A and B are shown apart, each in its own frame.
Chain A
Amino acid sequence: MDSIDALKELLYKMADDQLIIGHRNSEWTGLGPILEEDIAFSSMAQDKIGQSEHLYNLLNQLGEADADTVAFTRNANQFHSSRLVELPIGDYSFSLIRHFLFDFSEHLRFEALRSSAYEPLAQVSKKFFGEIKYHTMHANTWVNQLGNGNEESHRKMQESLNYAWNYALGIFEPGPAENILIDDYIFIGEESLKNRWLDTIIPLLKKSGLTIPSEDTWKPIFGGRTGLHTENLQPLLEEMTEVYSIDPSADW
Protein backbone atom coordinates (compact mmCIF):
# COMPACT_ATOMS: atom_id res chain seq x y z
CA MET A 1 0.00 0.00 0.00
CA ASP A 2 1.46 3.32 -1.04
CA SER A 3 0.91 6.80 0.30
CA ILE A 4 -2.02 7.58 -2.04
CA ASP A 5 -3.84 4.37 -1.08
CA ALA A 6 -3.36 5.13 2.60
CA LEU A 7 -4.68 8.65 2.06
CA LYS A 8 -7.70 7.33 0.17
CA GLU A 9 -8.42 4.94 3.01
CA LEU A 10 -8.42 7.85 5.47
CA LEU A 11 -10.68 9.96 3.26
CA TYR A 12 -13.11 7.12 2.64
CA LYS A 13 -13.57 6.34 6.31
CA MET A 14 -14.08 10.00 7.17
CA ALA A 15 -16.50 10.64 4.30
CA ASP A 16 -18.45 7.44 4.91
CA ASP A 17 -18.77 8.19 8.64
CA GLN A 18 -20.13 11.67 7.85
CA LEU A 19 -22.57 10.40 5.23
CA ILE A 20 -23.97 7.57 7.33
CA ILE A 21 -24.33 9.49 10.58
CA GLY A 22 -25.77 12.41 8.61
CA HIS A 23 -28.38 10.13 7.11
CA ARG A 24 -29.10 8.46 10.45
CA ASN A 25 -29.52 11.75 12.28
CA SER A 26 -31.78 13.05 9.51
CA GLU A 27 -34.21 10.29 10.50
CA TRP A 28 -35.19 12.55 13.42
CA THR A 29 -36.42 15.27 11.06
CA GLY A 30 -40.05 15.90 11.90
CA LEU A 31 -39.82 13.70 14.99
CA GLY A 32 -37.53 15.74 17.22
CA PRO A 33 -38.53 16.34 20.84
CA ILE A 34 -39.32 20.04 20.30
CA LEU A 35 -39.43 22.24 17.21
CA GLU A 36 -36.16 24.07 17.88
CA GLU A 37 -34.28 20.85 18.52
CA ASP A 38 -35.77 19.26 15.44
CA ILE A 39 -34.43 22.12 13.31
CA ALA A 40 -31.02 22.13 14.99
CA PHE A 41 -30.51 18.37 14.73
CA SER A 42 -31.70 18.30 11.12
CA SER A 43 -29.46 21.19 10.21
CA MET A 44 -26.44 19.44 11.70
CA ALA A 45 -27.34 16.22 9.85
CA GLN A 46 -27.34 18.25 6.67
CA ASP A 47 -23.95 19.74 7.61
CA LYS A 48 -22.51 16.24 7.91
CA ILE A 49 -23.76 15.17 4.51
CA GLY A 50 -22.27 18.37 3.09
CA GLN A 51 -18.93 17.57 4.74
CA SER A 52 -18.98 14.07 3.26
CA GLU A 53 -19.51 15.54 -0.20
CA HIS A 54 -16.39 17.69 0.19
CA LEU A 55 -14.38 14.64 1.22
CA TYR A 56 -15.76 12.57 -1.69
CA ASN A 57 -14.71 15.41 -3.97
CA LEU A 58 -11.15 15.09 -2.65
CA LEU A 59 -11.32 11.38 -3.49
CA ASN A 60 -12.59 12.28 -6.93
CA GLN A 61 -9.48 14.43 -7.43
CA LEU A 62 -7.42 11.36 -6.54
CA GLY A 63 -9.08 9.35 -9.30
CA GLU A 64 -12.13 7.87 -7.55
CA ALA A 65 -15.63 8.13 -9.07
CA ASP A 66 -17.69 11.30 -8.50
CA ALA A 67 -19.41 11.98 -5.16
CA ASP A 68 -22.92 10.80 -6.13
CA THR A 69 -21.66 7.58 -7.67
CA VAL A 70 -19.51 6.81 -4.66
CA ALA A 71 -22.25 7.71 -2.17
CA PHE A 72 -25.17 6.00 -3.89
CA THR A 73 -23.89 2.96 -5.75
CA ARG A 74 -21.82 1.00 -3.25
CA ASN A 75 -23.02 -1.91 -1.16
CA ALA A 76 -22.60 -2.11 2.61
CA ASN A 77 -19.41 -4.18 2.36
CA GLN A 78 -17.77 -1.38 0.36
CA PHE A 79 -18.37 1.23 3.07
CA HIS A 80 -15.54 2.20 5.43
CA SER A 81 -17.75 3.78 8.09
CA SER A 82 -17.47 2.70 11.72
CA ARG A 83 -20.20 0.48 13.10
CA LEU A 84 -21.19 3.15 15.60
CA VAL A 85 -22.69 5.40 12.93
CA GLU A 86 -24.89 2.76 11.30
CA LEU A 87 -26.72 1.74 14.50
CA PRO A 88 -30.41 2.67 14.47
CA ILE A 89 -31.32 6.01 16.05
CA GLY A 90 -32.80 4.30 19.12
CA ASP A 91 -34.35 6.71 21.59
CA TYR A 92 -33.14 10.28 21.85
CA SER A 93 -30.69 9.53 24.64
CA PHE A 94 -28.80 7.13 22.36
CA SER A 95 -28.80 9.54 19.42
CA LEU A 96 -27.47 12.29 21.70
CA ILE A 97 -24.76 10.11 23.19
CA ARG A 98 -23.66 8.96 19.75
CA HIS A 99 -23.71 12.59 18.59
CA PHE A 100 -21.50 13.47 21.58
CA LEU A 101 -19.04 10.58 21.21
CA PHE A 102 -18.75 10.74 17.43
CA ASP A 103 -18.72 14.50 17.03
CA PHE A 104 -15.93 15.05 19.54
CA SER A 105 -13.83 12.48 17.68
CA GLU A 106 -14.65 14.26 14.45
CA HIS A 107 -13.83 17.68 15.86
CA LEU A 108 -10.44 16.49 17.13
CA ARG A 109 -9.76 14.71 13.83
CA PHE A 110 -10.44 17.87 11.83
CA GLU A 111 -8.43 19.89 14.35
CA ALA A 112 -5.41 17.67 13.78
CA LEU A 113 -5.90 17.61 10.02
CA ARG A 114 -5.87 21.41 9.80
CA SER A 115 -2.09 21.08 9.76
CA SER A 116 -1.99 18.03 7.48
CA ALA A 117 0.79 17.93 4.93
CA TYR A 118 -1.87 17.04 2.36
CA GLU A 119 -2.96 20.59 1.63
CA PRO A 120 -6.43 19.92 0.13
CA LEU A 121 -7.40 18.01 3.28
CA ALA A 122 -5.96 20.74 5.51
CA GLN A 123 -8.13 23.26 3.64
CA VAL A 124 -11.31 21.22 4.06
CA SER A 125 -10.52 20.70 7.74
CA LYS A 126 -10.06 24.42 8.33
CA LYS A 127 -13.27 25.15 6.49
CA PHE A 128 -15.42 22.82 8.61
CA PHE A 129 -13.69 23.18 11.97
CA GLY A 130 -16.09 25.86 13.25
CA GLU A 131 -19.15 24.08 11.93
CA ILE A 132 -18.20 20.92 13.81
CA LYS A 133 -17.35 22.96 16.90
CA TYR A 134 -21.01 23.99 17.07
CA HIS A 135 -22.00 20.32 16.80
CA THR A 136 -19.89 19.51 19.85
CA MET A 137 -21.31 22.51 21.75
CA HIS A 138 -24.80 21.26 20.98
CA ALA A 139 -23.93 17.70 22.01
CA ASN A 140 -22.19 18.72 25.22
CA THR A 141 -24.98 21.09 26.29
CA TRP A 142 -27.57 18.34 25.86
CA VAL A 143 -25.50 15.66 27.56
CA ASN A 144 -24.92 18.03 30.46
CA GLN A 145 -28.58 18.95 30.66
CA LEU A 146 -29.83 15.37 30.68
CA GLY A 147 -26.95 13.78 32.57
CA ASN A 148 -27.57 16.24 35.41
CA GLY A 149 -31.33 16.27 34.88
CA ASN A 150 -33.64 14.03 36.83
CA GLU A 151 -33.24 10.37 37.78
CA GLU A 152 -34.87 9.14 34.57
CA SER A 153 -32.86 11.34 32.21
CA HIS A 154 -29.63 10.44 33.99
CA ARG A 155 -30.37 6.71 33.84
CA LYS A 156 -31.22 6.81 30.13
CA MET A 157 -28.06 8.74 29.29
CA GLN A 158 -25.88 6.41 31.36
CA GLU A 159 -27.42 3.31 29.77
CA SER A 160 -26.94 4.72 26.29
CA LEU A 161 -23.35 5.62 27.10
CA ASN A 162 -22.67 2.09 28.33
CA TYR A 163 -24.19 0.62 25.17
CA ALA A 164 -22.41 3.01 22.77
CA TRP A 165 -19.00 2.90 24.41
CA ASN A 166 -17.34 -0.08 22.68
CA TYR A 167 -18.83 1.00 19.36
CA ALA A 168 -17.34 4.44 19.91
CA LEU A 169 -13.92 2.92 20.60
CA GLY A 170 -14.37 1.23 17.20
CA ILE A 171 -14.10 4.65 15.52
CA PHE A 172 -10.36 4.39 16.16
CA GLU A 173 -9.75 1.13 14.31
CA PRO A 174 -6.17 1.49 13.05
CA GLY A 175 -5.79 1.86 9.29
CA PRO A 176 -3.73 -0.73 7.37
CA ALA A 177 -1.01 1.73 6.35
CA GLU A 178 -1.30 4.42 8.95
CA ASN A 179 2.45 4.59 9.50
CA ILE A 180 2.86 6.02 6.01
CA LEU A 181 0.42 8.81 6.84
CA ILE A 182 2.11 9.48 10.16
CA ASP A 183 5.59 9.50 8.57
CA ASP A 184 4.40 11.90 5.86
CA TYR A 185 2.75 14.25 8.41
CA ILE A 186 -0.62 13.68 6.75
CA PHE A 187 -2.43 12.35 9.83
CA ILE A 188 -1.52 11.76 13.47
CA GLY A 189 -2.95 8.21 13.48
CA GLU A 190 -5.96 6.67 15.21
CA GLU A 191 -4.20 5.82 18.49
CA SER A 192 -3.10 9.41 19.10
CA LEU A 193 -6.54 10.64 18.11
CA LYS A 194 -8.19 8.24 20.54
CA ASN A 195 -6.02 9.51 23.39
CA ARG A 196 -6.91 13.12 22.62
CA TRP A 197 -10.56 12.10 22.48
CA LEU A 198 -10.44 10.37 25.86
CA ASP A 199 -8.68 13.36 27.42
CA THR A 200 -11.43 15.61 26.09
CA ILE A 201 -14.59 13.68 26.75
CA ILE A 202 -13.90 12.06 30.12
CA PRO A 203 -13.89 15.38 32.05
CA LEU A 204 -16.97 16.56 30.15
CA LEU A 205 -18.88 13.37 30.92
CA LYS A 206 -17.83 13.66 34.55
CA LYS A 207 -19.26 17.19 34.67
CA SER A 208 -22.46 15.75 33.27
CA GLY A 209 -22.64 13.19 36.06
CA LEU A 210 -21.89 10.28 33.71
CA THR A 211 -19.20 7.64 34.03
CA ILE A 212 -17.50 5.69 31.26
CA PRO A 213 -17.32 1.90 31.63
CA SER A 214 -14.25 0.69 33.55
CA GLU A 215 -11.24 0.17 31.35
CA ASP A 216 -10.99 -3.60 31.86
CA THR A 217 -14.35 -3.99 30.09
CA TRP A 218 -13.35 -2.01 26.98
CA LYS A 219 -13.65 -4.08 23.82
CA PRO A 220 -13.53 -1.88 20.71
CA ILE A 221 -16.01 -3.07 18.10
CA PHE A 222 -13.98 -3.04 14.90
CA GLY A 223 -14.82 -4.24 11.40
CA GLY A 224 -16.54 -1.23 9.90
CA ARG A 225 -13.35 0.15 8.36
CA THR A 226 -12.86 -3.04 6.34
CA GLY A 227 -16.46 -3.39 5.19
CA LEU A 228 -17.66 -5.77 7.92
CA HIS A 229 -20.87 -4.16 9.09
CA THR A 230 -23.88 -4.97 11.23
CA GLU A 231 -27.19 -5.88 9.59
CA ASN A 232 -28.23 -2.23 10.01
CA LEU A 233 -26.20 -0.70 7.20
CA GLN A 234 -27.63 -2.32 4.06
CA PRO A 235 -31.28 -1.33 4.80
CA LEU A 236 -30.08 2.22 5.49
CA LEU A 237 -28.32 2.32 2.12
CA GLU A 238 -31.39 0.97 0.34
CA GLU A 239 -33.55 3.67 1.88
CA MET A 240 -30.98 6.40 1.22
CA THR A 241 -30.56 5.42 -2.43
CA GLU A 242 -34.21 4.72 -3.20
CA VAL A 243 -34.71 7.74 -5.44
CA TYR A 244 -31.29 7.43 -7.06
CA SER A 245 -31.97 3.77 -7.85
CA ILE A 246 -35.25 4.63 -9.59
CA ASP A 247 -33.79 7.55 -11.54
CA PRO A 248 -30.06 8.36 -11.25
CA SER A 249 -30.58 11.63 -13.14
CA ALA A 250 -33.37 12.88 -10.84
CA ASP A 251 -32.88 16.51 -9.87
CA TRP A 252 -34.71 19.05 -7.72
Chain B
Amino acid sequence: MDKKSNQAIESIDPRITRAKIEQTGDKSDMEDLAHFQTFEVFHQNKRGAQHKHVGIVHAPNPDMALLYAKEQYARREVTANLWVVPSSCISATEYSDDDIFSTTPEKKYRNPASYKVIDRINAFKKRGSKPSDKV
Protein backbone atom coordinates (compact mmCIF):
# COMPACT_ATOMS: atom_id res chain seq x y z
CA MET B 1 0.00 0.00 0.00
CA ASP B 2 1.18 3.54 -0.65
CA LYS B 3 1.29 6.16 2.07
CA LYS B 4 -2.16 7.47 1.24
CA SER B 5 -3.63 4.78 3.46
CA ASN B 6 -2.35 6.69 6.49
CA GLN B 7 -4.29 9.85 5.72
CA ALA B 8 -6.88 11.01 8.19
CA ILE B 9 -10.46 10.00 7.52
CA GLU B 10 -12.60 12.75 6.03
CA SER B 11 -16.27 12.54 6.84
CA ILE B 12 -19.43 14.62 6.34
CA ASP B 13 -19.64 14.43 10.12
CA PRO B 14 -17.36 17.27 11.28
CA ARG B 15 -16.59 15.46 14.52
CA ILE B 16 -15.00 12.55 12.66
CA THR B 17 -12.84 14.81 10.52
CA ARG B 18 -11.77 16.83 13.56
CA ALA B 19 -10.68 13.65 15.35
CA LYS B 20 -7.98 13.13 12.67
CA ILE B 21 -8.35 9.34 12.69
CA GLU B 22 -5.68 7.74 10.53
CA GLN B 23 -6.76 5.11 8.05
CA THR B 24 -4.56 2.16 8.84
CA GLY B 25 -4.96 -1.57 8.83
CA ASP B 26 -3.15 -1.72 12.14
CA LYS B 27 -4.79 -4.08 14.61
CA SER B 28 -2.51 -3.24 17.53
CA ASP B 29 -5.28 -1.30 19.26
CA MET B 30 -7.12 -4.54 19.88
CA GLU B 31 -4.06 -6.14 21.44
CA ASP B 32 -3.94 -3.25 23.90
CA LEU B 33 -7.28 -4.43 25.21
CA ALA B 34 -5.99 -7.89 26.04
CA HIS B 35 -6.23 -7.15 29.77
CA PHE B 36 -9.98 -6.63 29.38
CA GLN B 37 -12.22 -9.52 30.25
CA THR B 38 -15.90 -10.21 29.88
CA PHE B 39 -18.30 -9.99 32.78
CA GLU B 40 -21.74 -11.56 32.88
CA VAL B 41 -24.38 -9.04 33.95
CA PHE B 42 -27.37 -9.87 36.16
CA HIS B 43 -30.22 -7.41 36.53
CA GLN B 44 -32.72 -7.13 39.36
CA ASN B 45 -35.83 -5.02 38.75
CA LYS B 46 -36.95 -4.74 42.37
CA ARG B 47 -35.64 -5.65 45.79
CA GLY B 48 -36.28 -9.28 46.64
CA ALA B 49 -36.75 -10.31 43.01
CA GLN B 50 -34.24 -12.69 41.46
CA HIS B 51 -31.35 -11.30 39.42
CA LYS B 52 -31.70 -12.25 35.78
CA HIS B 53 -28.89 -12.70 33.33
CA VAL B 54 -29.09 -10.00 30.67
CA GLY B 55 -25.78 -10.14 28.77
CA ILE B 56 -22.11 -9.27 29.02
CA VAL B 57 -19.81 -6.24 29.18
CA HIS B 58 -16.09 -5.91 28.51
CA ALA B 59 -14.09 -4.20 31.22
CA PRO B 60 -10.67 -4.30 32.87
CA ASN B 61 -12.06 -4.81 36.39
CA PRO B 62 -15.32 -5.28 38.33
CA ASP B 63 -15.69 -1.56 39.18
CA MET B 64 -15.66 -0.57 35.55
CA ALA B 65 -17.83 -3.53 34.61
CA LEU B 66 -20.50 -2.19 36.99
CA LEU B 67 -20.24 1.27 35.43
CA TYR B 68 -20.81 -0.19 32.01
CA ALA B 69 -23.50 -2.61 33.12
CA LYS B 70 -25.47 0.39 34.37
CA GLU B 71 -25.46 2.10 30.98
CA GLN B 72 -25.79 -1.07 28.86
CA TYR B 73 -28.50 -2.83 30.79
CA ALA B 74 -30.12 -0.36 33.19
CA ARG B 75 -30.56 2.78 31.16
CA ARG B 76 -34.05 1.89 29.96
CA GLU B 77 -35.29 -0.67 32.52
CA VAL B 78 -36.49 -0.10 36.05
CA THR B 79 -33.57 -1.30 38.17
CA ALA B 80 -32.95 -2.02 41.84
CA ASN B 81 -29.56 -3.72 41.66
CA LEU B 82 -26.91 -5.12 39.31
CA TRP B 83 -24.38 -7.93 39.64
CA VAL B 84 -21.33 -8.52 37.49
CA VAL B 85 -19.44 -11.80 37.53
CA PRO B 86 -16.28 -12.56 35.54
CA SER B 87 -17.31 -14.88 32.71
CA SER B 88 -14.34 -17.06 33.63
CA CYS B 89 -16.13 -17.87 36.92
CA ILE B 90 -19.02 -19.52 35.10
CA SER B 91 -18.97 -23.32 34.84
CA ALA B 92 -21.34 -24.73 32.27
CA THR B 93 -22.65 -28.04 31.00
CA GLU B 94 -21.53 -29.15 27.55
CA TYR B 95 -24.03 -28.82 24.73
CA SER B 96 -22.81 -32.22 23.57
CA ASP B 97 -24.21 -33.59 26.84
CA ASP B 98 -27.61 -32.04 26.38
CA ASP B 99 -29.13 -35.53 26.20
CA ILE B 100 -28.99 -35.53 30.00
CA PHE B 101 -32.05 -33.29 29.80
CA SER B 102 -33.86 -35.29 27.10
CA THR B 103 -36.55 -36.95 29.21
CA THR B 104 -37.36 -34.03 31.48
CA PRO B 105 -40.14 -32.60 29.25
CA GLU B 106 -42.10 -35.82 30.00
CA LYS B 107 -41.92 -35.40 33.75
CA LYS B 108 -44.84 -33.01 34.03
CA TYR B 109 -45.43 -34.07 37.65
CA ARG B 110 -42.27 -32.18 38.58
CA ASN B 111 -43.77 -28.95 37.35
CA PRO B 112 -45.70 -27.19 40.14
CA ALA B 113 -48.34 -26.13 37.63
CA SER B 114 -49.28 -29.81 37.21
CA TYR B 115 -49.06 -30.69 40.86
CA LYS B 116 -51.93 -31.50 43.18
CA VAL B 117 -51.87 -28.15 44.88
CA ILE B 118 -53.15 -26.62 41.66
CA ASP B 119 -56.62 -27.88 42.62
CA ARG B 120 -56.47 -25.94 45.87
CA ILE B 121 -55.12 -22.85 44.10
CA ASN B 122 -57.92 -22.97 41.55
CA ALA B 123 -60.51 -23.49 44.25
CA PHE B 124 -59.07 -20.54 46.13
CA LYS B 125 -59.15 -18.34 43.04
CA LYS B 126 -62.73 -19.32 42.34
CA ARG B 127 -63.96 -18.56 45.84
CA GLY B 128 -61.67 -15.60 46.43
CA SER B 129 -61.13 -16.80 49.99
CA LYS B 130 -58.08 -17.00 52.23
CA PRO B 131 -55.33 -19.52 51.32
CA SER B 132 -55.55 -21.14 54.75
CA ASP B 133 -59.17 -22.12 54.21
CA LYS B 134 -59.87 -25.85 53.92
CA VAL B 135 -60.84 -27.00 50.44
What number of A-B contacts does a CB cutoff of 8 Å give? 43
Report the minimal beta-carbon distance from B16 to chain A, rounded to whole angstroms. 7
> Complex: how many Å from CA A29 to CA B71?
14
Q: Does A34 contact B (CB under 8 A)?
A: yes
- B57 A31 Cβ-Cβ under 8 A: no
Q: Does A35 contact B (CB under 8 A)?
A: yes
- A31 B68 Cβ-Cβ under 8 A: no
Q: Does A54 contact B (CB under 8 A)?
A: no
Q: A36 with B15: in contact, given A43-B75, A137-B67 (CB under 8 Å)? A: no
Name A125-163 residues within 8 Å CB distance of B: 134, 137-138, 141-142, 145
- A141 B63 Cβ-Cβ under 8 A: yes
Name B35-74 residues within 8 Å CB distance of A: 36, 57-61, 63-64, 67-68, 70-72
Total number of A residues with any Cβ neighbor in B under 8 Å: 19
Q: Does B33 contact A (CB under 8 A)?
A: yes
- B64 A141 Cβ-Cβ under 8 A: yes
A40 partner residues in chain B, CB cutoff 8 A: 67-68, 70-71
- A145 B64 Cβ-Cβ under 8 A: yes
- A34 B58 Cβ-Cβ under 8 A: yes
> Complex: how many Å from CA A115 to CA B129?
48
> Complex: how many Å from CA A142 to CA B68?
12
Selected contact of B72 from candidates A29, A36, A141, A145, CB within 8 Å: A36
Q: Does B14 contact A (CB under 8 A)?
A: yes
Q: Which residue of chain B has the shortest Cβ distance to A43 in the bound complex?
A: B71
Q: Does B117 contact A (CB under 8 A)?
A: no
> Complex: how many Å from CA A27 to CA B61?
26
Interface size range of chain B in the complex: 20 to 34
Name A29-65 residues within 8 Å CB distance of B: 29-31, 34-37, 39-40, 43-44
Selected contact of A39 from candidates B21, B33, B72, CB within 8 Å: B72
Report the minimal beta-carbon distance from A195 to chain B, rounded to whole angstroms. 28
Q: Does A239 contact B (CB under 8 A)?
A: yes
Selected contact of B16 from candidates A31, A37, A39, CB within 8 Å: A31
* Chain B interface helix/strand/loop/mixed: helix
B16 partner residues in chain A, CB cutoff 8 A: 30-31
- A141 B71 Cβ-Cβ under 8 A: no
A141 partner residues in chain B, CB cutoff 8 A: 63-64, 67
Q: Which residue of chain B has the shortest Cβ distance to A137 in the bound complex?
A: B67
Q: Does B90 contact A (CB under 8 A)?
A: no
B89 partner residues in chain A, CB cutoff 8 A: none
Q: Does B19 contact A (CB under 8 A)?
A: yes
A43 partner residues in chain B, CB cutoff 8 A: 71, 75
- A31 B19 Cβ-Cβ under 8 A: yes
Report the minimal beta-carbon distance from A103 to chain B, rounded to whole angstroms. 13
- B67 A31 Cβ-Cβ under 8 A: no
A35 partner residues in chain B, CB cutoff 8 A: 58
> Complex: how many Å from CA A34 to CA B38?
13
A145 partner residues in chain B, CB cutoff 8 A: 60-61, 63-64
Can you name 11 A-B pairs with beta carbons within 8 Å? A30-B13, A30-B16, A31-B15, A36-B68, A39-B68, A43-B71, A44-B71, A134-B70, A145-B60, A145-B61, A239-B14
Q: 10 additional contacts, CB 8 Å, given A31-B16, A34-B58, A138-B67?
A: A30-B13, A31-B15, A31-B19, A34-B33, A34-B36, A39-B72, A40-B68, A40-B71, A141-B63, A145-B61
Residues of B within 8 A of A (CB): 13-16, 18-19, 21, 33, 36, 57-61, 63-64, 67-68, 70-72, 75
The 5 closest A-B pairs by CB, nearest first: A36-B68, A40-B71, A27-B15, A43-B71, A141-B63
